[in-house]
Chain A
Amino acid sequence: MSDRPRALQGLRVLDQTQVMAGPFCAMLLADMGADVIKIEPPGGEATRGMDLELAPGVSAPFLAVNRNKRGLVLDLKRSEGVAILKRLVATADVLVENYRPGVARRLGVDYDTLAAINPRLIYCSISGFGQTGPYAGRGGYDLIAQGMSGIMSATGSEGGAPVKVGVPITDLGAGLFGVFGILCAVRARHVTGRGQLVDTSLFEAGLALSAWEATEYWYTGQVPRGLGTAHRLNAPYQAFCASDGHFTVGAANDNLFPRFCALLGLDHLVHDPRFDSVAHRLQNRAALEPLIEAVTVRHPRAHWLAKCEEAGVPAGPIYSVPEALDDPHARARGMVQELAHAQVGRVKGLGNPVKMSRTPPVMARTAPAPGEDTEAILRELGLGDDEIAGLRAKRVIA
């Protein structure tokens, strides 16, 4: 595997990010072969101190979003630290940061300053709300963005306490839109020869992921609400109760609905005027659901899943996370990876979800220990033994 070409080989990325959105963005570049240098302050970034420790100072959440990166510890509050960063910037293609807007400028590592050093630099900022607009200066977390983008209002069941999407979808979405923006800018640079500022946020990612919900509101005037597992524009498309728990079925279109009715022994529903089109089924979902569930509760999930598979009706179990990670298909697609870690032995991680025939993503190494690659990186920059020792003694690097 290691001698296969990698799609982003030769791309150098400086990763000045913390916690999730920014690290996830840079990790996706690293998986594809970019040389990602994670730059941390002395003491390491905050996520290293998070719960779920594997060994003293080794936090699993940090490892989960920082694999395939090299590690450099640099004190940007010291002028010598900023000077080294600038030397690195001169050799870099991309820089990713997720400070609150304004912090990078105070540290002297903002876009304008660094673009003056390297006009080919692509500088990606991922923040709570973006670099402009009335909320630019506010801190933002996934929870806040899920609430403000409308996503929480459309998740869960009506009338209950607010529910967010269980995974930090605006963090991850912002990381993905960041990667997308960076790679678009890399492509534009082949033509223009120049870098640019890529600016995205958790809030905007949350809105961009609301395509269906915005459409429902704009086209129908109805306010999207939490519907449990149901679809806002299709039916039946939801979880149904079997004798031993729930399973999911998507049998909404006019081709799948009759097949689903047939396997339930409910053929008469197909021509029932309440259920004879998607629009009618959606309108009469409250009537349709109990008719279906009266049948599904009679047998276990496995019975219905086998019947649905036989009939070609999309359906599936509702897995716990352990079950999901243990599923033979997930395993066959390489979604569970293991990497060696010096202190804790082998560490599990999720695989990259994109398979590429010529340049597959590679799991080369686990996340770096603090400053693991400091010396190697500084030597690449041309620093000598004495300089490195001096910086270390002054605690500019570690």
Chain B
Amino acid sequence: MKALAGLRVIDLTQAMAAPFCTMNLADMGADVIKVEPPTGEDMRRGSASKNGHSGTFLTINRSKRGITLDLKQPAGVEIMHRLVKTADVFVQNYRPGAATRLGVGYETLAALNPRLIYCSISGFGATGPYAGRGGYDLIAQGMSGIISVTGDEDGPPAKAGVPLSDLAAGLFGAYGILCALEHRERTSEGQLVDTSLLEAAMALTVWEATEYWVTGRAPRPLGSAHRLAAPYQALRASDGWFTVGANNDKLFESFCRVIDRPDLAADPRFAGVRERMRHRDTLIAEIERTTAKETRAHWLARLDGAGVPAGPINTYPEALADPHALARDMIVDLVHPGAGPIKALGVPVKLSGTPGAVDRPAPLLGQDNAAVLTELGYTEAEQRTLKANGVI
């Protein structure tokens, strides 16, 4: 059994944040039904495709079933309403207002199914002055302050290389949904769960907001360095860079032993975290005088032996072939009927009793139309009519 077996989720989502939310629920065993317009969601036409199947779509829609439904036709809305009556959770990521226009707003669906948990993931949330604006990860990274703290100290703006506001909004959405399910367990009441890319990104600025509130200064980008501890950053070796986190006194002493620089451990300028932060530039210059003489592999082997946290800066080909990533089942092989053998990322949280798994690739367009409509009680003749009318 998977943890969320028996939970039915209607997924009326596009792009990344909300599909990532429902993908995580699907990996844990929820019956996620992805509902797309008859032409398929835009993501199906994204780049990075294999045999005409978009990799981005396949990546974040695995483990789901898929149906098509034209919500601009009353018959399509009618099917959606019947589906909602059988569902526990409904997830959408339209701009606020659009769902209501399509007849799938919270009030309408909650009236049909008071137990429904309705999750809305948008750029800015359903209320507040920017509620109506469209929002993307980039915009949220900029407005949350994340771009202002990422990159070289004096370089051009850089965002987090991964779309972290999208991904975090998806995860916060899943968290809200599961919390709402606990409330429903006690009361039978569903509710509205409302989160956004901007809020998710802001919730990730815990250290940075704290720094500002305490010091009154705007946190700056620091390359790879930590804002409150040193040495904790990428260091130069003879053949590239590696990372070291030797931020407390014990690890700093071990680190100095590994690089054979007892003078640094004894230097009063580097005694204690605060002193090391104050003299970080000098400290790193001194450290790199030594680390630049040997290779990354040389230092990583020694640091590992001494228990000092350190690691390579992997490219994705390296990260995705790393023996530990493989041992933790983070790389999964799937066979897609159109794209053929494909790879997917695994489930990052391991449950001993009810483990999640990636069991099936993303659905083909309308792949499960017949199965889902039959479950809802539509006869074959009715399904033929719906198809002829372009409803499904």
A318 to B148, CA, bound (A): 7
Q: Given A211-B167, A223-B315, A312-B134, does the pair A181, B349 have CB atoms closer than 8 Å? A: yes
A157, B350: Cβ atoms under 8 Å? no
- Interface positions, chain A 197-216, Cβ under 8 Å from B, are 197-201, 203-205, 207-216
Is B360 an interface residue when CB atoms closer than 8 A count as contact?
A: no
Does B185 sit at the interface, judged by CB under 8 A? yes
Q: Contact at B348–A246, with CB atoms within 8 Å?
A: no
**Of B214-222, B263-271, B363-371, B380-388, which binds chain A?**
B214-222
> Which residues 121-141 of B have a CB within 8 angstroms of A?
123-130, 133-136, 138-141
- The yes or no answer to B224 lying at the interface (CB within 8 A) is yes
A85: Cβ under 8 A from any B Cβ:
no
Residue of B nearest to A176 (CB): B171
Give the complex CA separation of A359 and B155 in angstroms: 44
Residue of A nearest to B164 (CB): A169
Given B45, B198, B213, B325, which contacts A329 in the complex, CB threshold below 8 Å? B198
Interface residues on B, range: 35 or more
Q: Report the minimum CB–CB distance from B58 to chain A (whole Å).
A: 8
Determine which of B1, B47, B140, B159 lies in contact with A192 in the assembled complex, contact meaning CB atoms within 8 Å. Answer: B1
B:309-368 near A, CB below 8 Å: 309-320, 322-325, 327-328, 330, 342-343, 345-354, 356
Residue B105, interface by CB 8 Å: no
Nearest chain A CB to B18 CB, angstrom units: 13
A250 closest partner in B (C-beta):
B136
Contacts of B224 in A (CB 8 A): 143, 152, 161-164
**Contacting pair A134 B191 (CB below 8 A):** no
Contacts of B161 in A (CB 8 A): 151-156, 165, 213, 224, 226-227
Number of interface residues of A (CB under 8 A): 154
Of A44-52, A260-268, A373-381, A385-393, the segment with at least 4 beta carbons within 8 Å of chain B is: A44-52
Q: Provided the pairs A169-B160, A173-B167, A321-B219 are in contact, do residues A187 and B142 lie with their beta carbons within 8 angstroms? A: no
Does A165 contact B157, Cβ atoms closer than 8 Å? no
Residue pair B128, A332 in contact (C-beta under 8 Å): yes
A residues in contact with B345, CB < 8 Å: 207-208, 210-211, 214
A-B CB contacts (within 8 Å), total count: 537
- The residue that A133 contacts in the complex, of B16, B134, B312, B327, with Cβ under 8 A, is B327
* Contact (Cβ within 8 A) B210 A132: no
A217-B243 contact, Cβ under 8 Å, with A5-B183, A209-B162: no
B246 to chain A, nearest CB (A): 10
> A46-B248, A169-B162 in contact; A350/B209 too (CB < 8 A)?
yes
Least distance between B242 CB and chain A CB atoms (Å)? 8
In the complex, chain B residues whose CB is within 8 Å of the CB of A10:
186
Residues of B within 8 A of A161 (CB): 152, 223-224, 234, 241
For the complex, is A290 an interface residue (Cβ under 8 Å from B)? no
- Residue on A with the closest CB to B221? A166
Summarize B's interface: helix, strand, loop or mixed. Answer: mixed
A198 to B128, CA, bound (A): 37
Contacts of A353 in B (CB 8 A): 169, 172, 195-196, 199-200, 202-203
Assembly CA distance A247 to B157 (angstroms): 10
- A333 interfacial by beta-carbon distance below 8 Å: yes
Q: Which one of A35-43, A68-76, A231-239 contacts B?
A: A231-239
Known A247-B142, A355-B193; contact A184-B348, beta-carbon cutoff 8 A? no
Q: With A180-B178, A353-B196 in contact, is A320–B207 under 8 Å at CB?
A: no
B86 contacts the other chain (CB 8 A)? no
Partner of B223, one of A163, A169, A250: A163
CB contacts (< 8 Å) of B204 on chain A: these are 167, 169, 172
> In the bound complex, how far is the Cα of B128 from the Cα of A11, in angstroms?
32
Instruction: Say yes or no: A192 contacts B158, CB within 8 Å.
Output: no
Contacts of B307 in A (CB 8 A): 139
Residues of B within 8 Å of A194, CB to CB, are 353
Please pick, from B173, B213, B273, the residue contacting A60 in the complex, using a CB distance under 8 A: B213
What does the 1/0 interface line of B170-183 toward A look like (CB < 8 Å)? 01111110111111
Query: How far in angstroms is the closest Cβ of chain A from B41?
Result: 12
In the complex, the 5 A-B pairs of residues with the closest C-beta atoms, listed nearest first: A166-B149, A154-B161, A196-B353, A353-B199, A219-B55
Please tell me if B49 contacts chain A, counting CB pairs below 8 Å.
yes
**A306 at the B interface (CB under 8 A):** no
Choice from A139, A165, A323 contacting B160 with Cβ under 8 Å: A165
Answer yes or no: B60 CB below 8 A from chain A CBs: yes
Given known contacts A157-B158, A179-B175, A183-B175, is B136 in contact with A141 (CB within 8 Å)? no
Question: Can you list 25 A-B pairs with a CB-CB distance of less than 8 A?
Answer: A134-B323, A141-B309, A153-B314, A157-B152, A163-B223, A164-B234, A169-B204, A187-B178, A192-B354, A204-B346, A208-B346, A210-B316, A210-B345, A213-B161, A215-B56, A218-B343, A219-B49, A229-B147, A231-B138, A233-B47, A248-B139, A316-B142, A329-B129, A350-B206, A354-B195
